[in-house]
Amino acid sequence: MNDKKIKILFIIGNNRSGTTILQNILGQLDGYVSVGELKYIWDRGFLRNKLCGCGVPFRECEFWTTISEHPPSIINKYDPYQLFQLGESFRVQHLPSTVIPYNRKKLFSRLATYMEAVENTYQAIQSVTGSRIIVDSSKNPAYGYLLSHMSSIDLHILHVIRDSRAVAYSWSKKKLFQPGTTNPYYMPQKGPLICALQWNVRNAFIELWFQRSGKNYRQLRYEDFVKAPCQTVESIIDFVGEPATSLPFISDTDVLLEKNHSVFGNLVRFQTGKVSIRHDVAWMSKFSNLSKALVTLLTLPWLFKYGYLTKKNGEKG
Ligand SMILES: [Zn+2]
């Protein structure tokens, strides 16, 4: 029965697309819970014990301890290292092979333990929190593909798109994953060429697999979200069909954020209190002209498609 399914709002797209604050806002809505990038729970959570969004190391966070011990007790039933390896073994480049039924069957058989553990984790999150919607911002298309084939999950896909040049600029910067100066934990960096290619591939696969599949799918541009955050959140609530009694906005662009339990994500997830949502356009002045030109050239058709090359709809609109 559809009513018994676990409803998940899955934020998909390229990393560094400015989705963290959106996920934090959604997680504060009545009946919603945001768990950050759940795909990484086995590695960054159980194995490496990185900080939860609440500021406590994952294995010491009460929220995650309760969930991991909730029957069938994922912490006792599964080996996080095995699950991490299984999860990493299926990537976006493997998606095309799944159009062949034999390959698909083989894949689901090979990843059966992984898929069962993931389903059990969402089930435990729903049972412990009593939430109607779980917001997962893993963004990974291969992981999203697996979720879309889990019979207990009612998946809503929110495809967040951000200007490729802003994404590539963000990847070029040295950024911390979590606070702390004694043992700094940095996000990986990538050059403009690889960023541009990945941006194309991810968006293409996401459209191919989710938009055309007839599943619940919606596109959102980061630039449109920061222009009208409150209206955007209201439209996402409509999209998932689960009303929320109040929104955390204190003005058109300011929100009041509480502590969250995102398992993984960027530094923004640790922000609490009054947070102003603003359009980050640093890439326009700080990204080198050569890098900007390279990324523009390599992503030209999609930049045009998503309206980034017209004054009316682009970054300057
Ligand atoms: Zn926590």
- Structural contact between residues 260 and 26, judged by C-beta atoms closer than 8 angstroms: no
| Spacing, Cα 263 to ligand 1 middle (Å) | 7
Segment 155-199, tens digit of pLDDT: 999 999 999 999 999 988 877 767 776 777 777 788 999 999 999
| Spacing, Cα 234 to ligand 1 middle (Å) | 26
Segment 197-242, tens digit of pLDDT: 999 999 999 998 888 776 799 999 999 999 999 999 999 999 999 9
Query: What pLDDT score does 176 carry?
Result: 72
User: Which residues of the chain fall below pLDDT 70?
Assistant: 1-3, 177, 181, 214, 311-317
H-helix or E-strand spanning residue 67? helix 62-69
| Spacing, Cα 261 to ligand 1 middle (Å) | 4
| Spacing, Cα 60 to ligand 1 middle (Å) | 8
Query: What pLDDT score does 1 carry?
Result: 41
| Spacing, Cα 233 to ligand 1 middle (Å) | 24
Helix (H, G, I), strand (E, B) or coil at 243: coil
Query: What pLDDT score does 181 carry?
Result: 63
Any idea what DSSP says for residue 189? -
Query: What pLDDT score does 140 carry?
Result: 95
- Strand boundaries in 50-198, DSSP class E: 133-139, 153-161, 176-178, 185-186
What's the gap between Cα 194 and its chain centre?
Answer: 20
| Spacing, Cα 147 to ligand 1 middle (Å) | 24
| Spacing, Cα 43 to ligand 1 middle (Å) | 16
pTM, two decimal places: 0.93
Query: What pLDDT score does 3 carry?
Result: 55
Query: What pLDDT score does 47 carry?
Result: 96
Whole-number Cα distances in Å, 248 to 51, 119, 145, 227 = 24, 30, 31, 17
| Spacing, Cα 66 to ligand 1 middle (Å) | 11
